Structure 1
Amino acid sequence: MTIFKHLIKHKLHIAILTIPITLLMVGCSGAMPASSWPNSIMADNNLIIANNNAVYAISSDFGKLVWKFPDKPDSTRSQFYTSPAYTNNSIVIGSDNKHAFTIDITNGNEVWNFDATNNKSGTAPTGISVESELAFFTSENTLYALRISNGQTAWKFESAKELWAPPSSNGQYVFLPGMDHTLTSIDISNGSQIWQQHLTGALADSPTIYQETLYTGSLSNSVYAIDASNGMIIWEFEAKGWVWGSPMVIDDYVFFGDLDGYVYALNRANGREVWTSQQLDSASRGTPAYSDGNLFVTSDNGFVYSIDAISGNTVWNIEIDSKNADRLLADPIAHNGLLYITSMNGENIVHAINQSDGVIVWKFNPE
């Protein structure tokens, strides 16, 4: 989750968790992803990291461990790959073994958990978003609306195919992206469908909400601006490659990267191209981070780039770890002058980097 998206969602009392998934080279399939990867968010000046068998809270200034959930290995409390969410002094997290949990942010203790296995074994990508008094939990093809106070189901909504990403919400409606190429608006009060728009490709990440417009990428090269009130397409832009991550909106511009390794800036009003960056070393999946006029993006092959948001020119780039930390798939996070990078592999799962020059300040090793 980017800082800009966090600010929007904080204003609307929304927090988003996303389920990361490794790309299958069939954008329309909706098949079970082959694997997942770690993700992080910033909450109360702590970095919260979901990394397979545990969720970690570490201090953002020095990278020191604050707490770990669970304390000991647990077959149910595992397979954490979602981007955690923060609301009402709780961390909400989903696991690929079809469970959702809330965790007290002060001490890492479990508050409640929800079981979506329906007495069936196996794994599935899951996601959670939180709005007001409800948490929206996706597992397989079902969206569950859970009461934040106790984890009980308020309503549920079934999609035609598996869901790879959680919905976004503006407090009145829930906007659900689907692997069946659909974006669906759902009444937050009762789970009834308001509208559904069929797009040209599968949607692998949550739409970004800015004012009354939804912005989403797709696994068909297209990026869309969609009217949140009726689902009508305002404009469509064709990128060079598939667009996995959610676009970022800053003032009059829309920024995103694609799987061909390009980063784009579009005019928010009409979708026209402002600039396209030089090609990166490899694909860029996560949503860019933004701070003080610069975009920060990561690549599959382990590089981090600082890009001038006005010109699209590269300011600096570094390789995180040439021996281990390939595959930077999670969204980078910009906070208080530092950039936080979560790695899929390597000895250190988090690197904190100076935004100004790309110098690594500290690293976090969970062991």
Structure 2
Amino acid sequence: MKNTKILLIGLFLLGAVLLTSCGAPLSGSSWPGVSSNGDAVYVAYMQHVYAIRAADGSMIWRFPEKAGRQMFFAAPVLADDQLLVGDYENVLHSLDPNSGVEKWIFTQAQADWIASPLVVGDVILAPNADHFLYALSKNGSLLWKFETGRALWAQPVSDGEFVYQASMDHKVYAINLRTGQELWSLDVGGAVIYSPTLDAEEGTLYLTTLARNLMAINTQDGSIRWQRQFEGGLWTQPALHDGRLYMGDLQGTVYAISTKDGAEIWTQKVDQPVTGKPTVLDSRVIFPTEDGSLIAMTLEGERLWSRTFEGKLYTGPVVIGDRLAVGIAGGKEFLKMVSLDGQDLWTFVPPK
């Protein structure tokens, strides 16, 4: 019951943020979306997008300079000479990554941008809560749009020929990248809020659903290779590494799962709800938890260290060389840089 409540609270937080685009008061129900190009850390959080120096945590710019009604949630996406980020006022922005100056906007969507876009070659793929996946050129012009049955909260993935989009309508769609035509769709039996994980070489899509299922799907025809159900709720994206999927559940168990058949390789109890996608390095995997902890383990499940922050973690840390950028929700600080063993390096403090 407790774990179910945590999941429902998380979904309620998202719903509360969505109301801001309908004239409701601004809410604190958001968490930072973090990305990096190595030199800068880009953070979308609350009413701003920030560019921050990775070396020392100093601010390069923020957009907009003065807070307005728009709110930001999903991690910005860097694509060549532009930074793409959507807001809760139905606008997708292209910013200059060096200055934060707005280059163009896309305003044809009818709802909020909850998921990050994906850039494949010269095509921007932008999923919106209005049920549509929009394909745009690099200058923001519409190429095609594809309609699903419910809101899109998950970033799509692509093998360069097809786009795979999960939806809140309980389906996954395979769509031709160039034409926007559907190849297949599959009812997965539950809503999908996190992006699938694609193994393009093996032609397999891995995803978790709110019905507590982990599924492996053949990208050629949408057939199910294998699936398994968990006792704990799944609010996570599996991390793929060397024939294994690393993930956790809301009952506080973390897993290494074989990609061949879904069998458990190992499990460990961490006694904290695991949310978001784990971060995998060469010799370790780092799990984020809802109570604000990072838990580092070897790839064989032995605990190395843990670190608790003031706030909650809904996404895994972003690796920047030998450091980890951590986005924190609901605390006094929303971005920290730590070492690979969890020690503080700097904390970002936005100017007033």
TM normalised by structure 2 equals: 0.88
Aligned position for 1:277: 268
Tell me the residue number matched to 1:11: none
User: Is the contact made by 2:279 and 2:316 (CA closer than 8 Å) also made in structure 1?
Assistant: yes
Q: 2:326 aligns with which of 341, 351, 355?
A: 341
Q: Using the TM superposition, give the Cα deviation of residue 23 of structure 1 relative to its aligned residue in structure 2, in angstroms.
A: 4.5
Residue 232 (structure 2) pairs with residue 241 (structure 1):
yes
1:33 aligns with 2:15: yes
Query: Are positions 1:293 and 2:280 aligned together?
Result: no
- Which of 112, 117, 120 is the equivalent residue of 1:131? 120
- Distance (Å, rounded) in 1 between the aligned partners of 2:10 and 2:281: 34
Q: Structure 1 residue 226: deviation in Å? A: 1.0
- C-alpha separation between the residues in 2 aligned to 1:256 and 1:133? 32
Once structures 1 and 2 are overlaid, which stretch shifts more, 203-212 or 233-242?
A: 233-242
Instruction: Determine the C-alpha separation between the residues in 2 that align with 1:337 and 1:218.
Output: 33
| Aligned residue among 301, 313, 317 for 2:306 | 317
Residues 13-34 of structure 1: per-residue CA shift (max 9 Å, x gap) = xxxxxxxxx943699xx99723
Contact kept? 1:79, 1:97, Cα under 8 Å: yes
Q: Which residue of 1 aligns with 2:27?
A: none
- For the residues of structure 2 that align with 1:263 and 1:125, how far apart are their CA atoms? 26
1:332 aligns with 2:317: yes
Contact map agreement 2:312 2:331 (CA 8 A) in 1: no
Q: What secondary structure sits across from 1:33 in the alignment?
A: helix
Distance in structure 2 (CA, Å) of the matches to 1:161 and 1:49: 27
Residue of structure 2 in register with 1:147 after alignment: 137
Structure 2 equivalent of residue 100 of structure 1? 92
Distance 1:229 1:31 in 2: 36
SS in 2 for 1:24: helix
Percentage of identical aligned residues: 27
Shift of 1:291: 1.7
Partner of 2:218: 227
What is the number of equivalent residue pairs in this alignment? 331
Hey, what's the Cα distance between the residues in 1 that align with 2:328 and 2:9?
A: 22
Q: How does 1:1-367 map to 2 (within 5 A)?
A: 23-24=7-8, 33-35=15-17, 36-75=30-69, 78-118=70-110, 123=112, 125-139=114-128, 140-148=130-138, 150-210=139-199, 211=201, 212-281=203-272, 283-310=273-300, 312-321=301-310, 326-356=311-341, 358-367=342-351
8 Å CA contact 1:91–1:102 kept in 2: the answer is: yes
The 2-side partners of 1:126 and 1:293 are apart by 29
Measure, in 2, the Cα distance between the counterparts of 1:298 and 1:144.
31
Equivalent residue for 1:15? none
The structure with higher relative contact order (CA 8 Å, sep 6+) is: 1
Query: Deviation of residue 126 (structure 1)?
Result: 4.7
Q: Distance in 2 between matches of 1:197 and 1:206?
A: 15
Residue 19 of structure 1 is matched in structure 2 by none
Query: Residues 186-227 of structure 1, C-alpha deviation per residue, up to 9 Å, x if partnerless?
Result: 011111110011112111111111122111111111111111
Q: CA deviation at 1:309?
A: 1.2
TM-score of the superposed pair, with normalisation by structure 1: 0.85
- Contact 2:125/2:156, CA 8 A, preserved across alignment: yes
| RMSD of aligned residue pairs (Cα, Å) | 2.1
Is the contact made by 2:113 and 2:127 (CA closer than 8 Å) also made in structure 1?
no
Measure the CA separation in 2 of the matches of 1:166 and 1:246.
Answer: 11
Separation of aligned partners in 1, 2:236 and 2:151 = 18
**Aligned counterparts of 2:308 and 2:68: Cα–Cα separation in 1:** 34
Q: Given the superposition, is the C-alpha separation of residues 327 and 25 from structure 1 closer, same or farther in structure 2, using an over 3 Å criterion?
A: closer
Alpha-carbon distance in 2 for matches of 1:360, 1:32: 29
**Aligned equivalents of 1:186 and 1:74: distance in 2?**
36
